[in-house]
Amino acid sequence: MSFDILVKGGILPDGRQADIGIRDGRIAAVEPGIGGEAGRTIDASGDLVSPPFVDPHFHMDATLSYGQPRINASGTLLEGIALWGELKPSLTQDEVKERALAYCDWAAAMGLLAIRSHVDVCDDRLLAVEALLDVKREVAPWLDLQLVAFPQDGFYRDPTAKQNLLRALDMGVDVVGGIPHFERTMEDGRRSVTELCEIAAERGLMVDMHCDETDDPVSRHVEQLAFETQRLGMQGRVAGSHLTSMHSMDNYYVSKLLPLVAEAQLSAIPNPLINIVLQGRHDTYPKRRGLTRVPEMLAAGIRVGFGQDCVLDPWYSLGTGDMLDVAFMGLHVAQMTSPADMRRCFDMVTTESAAIMGLADYGLEVGKQASLVVLDAGDPVEAIRLRADRLCVISNGTVIAEREPGRSKLTLKGRPAYADPRFRLPSKPDA
């Protein structure tokens, strides 16, 4: 057999050791000890070989705009929205595109090869929509960019949001978004969920709504989203992003809500870095974490994918495009510390998020698109612990990024010359 690329000796996320043969942009073989010729052989001995990272919730129109025109002084969601509103009139298509493409370069280096980005449609010029549609076309050979029409200022609250959202969908935006908790009344929020789901159903599109991104324990838009998903027969095609109010809801109500969410096959996309930073800002002490009920949703059979939401923008002053940072934070805040739970956190930034985005061609199986990441770690938990270096990133059968493993040179008398952060436990507890 001959391959374009042969990745030798890697360890798959499920613990199997296997070589991966790549031909014509596709995975041609996954098994131990593959022989034959290859245009290039990559030695991944003892390294984790994973399908690419997937970010199911991002804002690429705002990324890398930190500090423009000023910094979010209160650190709240609402000041972030106001700040973005101040920046919007001065945006140009070229500038949005330039920032987005710069971020996509970072994503390539991080092995982040699929991103669902919301794009604000509350600007009559729709220049961010045009810019991100351009970016989507440009990066398509190596990065799967899915766009969500997002009425940031409210589907009803903003006077032209509805017509702009429909225009954006006509232009080719993939998914219908919403922000019911930001409408003027709970009733307007409820109606917006209904109308937006109807628009998506009519056009055969998926839905991904910012939903109940508040600390309000009586916010009820997730319930409405689950109801509309059922009513319109959209099971499996709808996601609720954030769902932070669920953190603060009455436990009895949640015991009724979770089975409804599961029944509607509504996916959940918490954003741990942003939720822990933005929520609980009106609390003194004890201060709520705000992250939605991740372990409880998983136990109820609800699909959960962790998103990143923001990198260097009006809402978040940090970030690198590293989905392992997201998994690391999610693991801590949700207290998912058992070996099995930690493994699940890795799945939530890879396979689970790919399923939420509907990426049918994703995964390390024969016939799928040949996209993968070689990580400087032995298994998914170690990858999260180390936020491991991406030694090699392959997209659609082409190597797009490479990196030497990071090591610190030590100058301590009588100690080794290099510190190897890849300290492995001699035996690992069973997952």
Binding site residues, Fe ion, CB under 5 A: 309
- Tell the smallest beta-carbon distance from residue 210 to Fe ion (Å): 5
State how far the Cα of 163 lies from the Cα of 349, in Å rounded to an integer: 34
State how far the Cα of 176 lies from the Cα of 161, in Å rounded to an integer: 12
State how far the Cα of 144 lies from the Cα of 131, in Å rounded to an integer: 16
CB 178 within 8 A of CB 201: no
User: What phi and psi values does residue 316 have, to the nearest 5 degrees?
Assistant: -150, 125
Q: Is 31 one of the catalytic residues?
A: no
CB 193 within 8 A of CB 178: yes
- Tell the smallest beta-carbon distance from residue 141 to Fe ion (Å): 27
State how far the Cα of 249 lies from the Cα of 154, in Å rounded to an integer: 23
- Tell the smallest beta-carbon distance from residue 373 to Fe ion (Å): 25
Return the number of the residue (144 or 309) whose C-beta is nearest Fe ion: 309
Angle between helices 221-231 and 251-263 (to 10 degrees): 20
- Tell the smallest beta-carbon distance from residue 271 to Fe ion (Å): 7
For residue 404, give the DSSP letter. Answer: P
- Tell the smallest beta-carbon distance from residue 118 to Fe ion (Å): 6
Return the number of the residue (17 or 317) whose C-beta is nearest Fe ion: 317
Return the number of the residue (177 or 363) whose C-beta is nearest Fe ion: 177
State how far the Cα of 127 lies from the Cα of 55, in Å rounded to an integer: 23
Return the number of the residue (47 or 309) whose C-beta is nearest Fe ion: 309
SS3 for 7?
A: strand
Q: Is 254 exposed, middle or buried (0-12, 13-18, 19+ CB in 10 A)?
A: buried
- Tell the smallest beta-carbon distance from residue 47 to Fe ion (Å): 33
DSSP letter for each residue of 34-87: --SEEEEEEE-TT-EEEPPEEEEEE-TTTTT-TTSS---SS--HHHHHHHHHHH
Return the number of the residue (87 or 300) whose C-beta is nearest Fe ion: 87
Of the residues 213, 223, 352, 382, only one is catalytic, namely 213
State how far the Cα of 317 lies from the Cα of 310, in Å rounded to an integer: 9
Give how far Cα 363 sits from Cα of 53, 82, 354, Å.
Answer: 11, 40, 9
Return the number of the residue (22 or 77) whose C-beta is nearest Fe ion: 77
Catalytic residue positions, numbered: 213
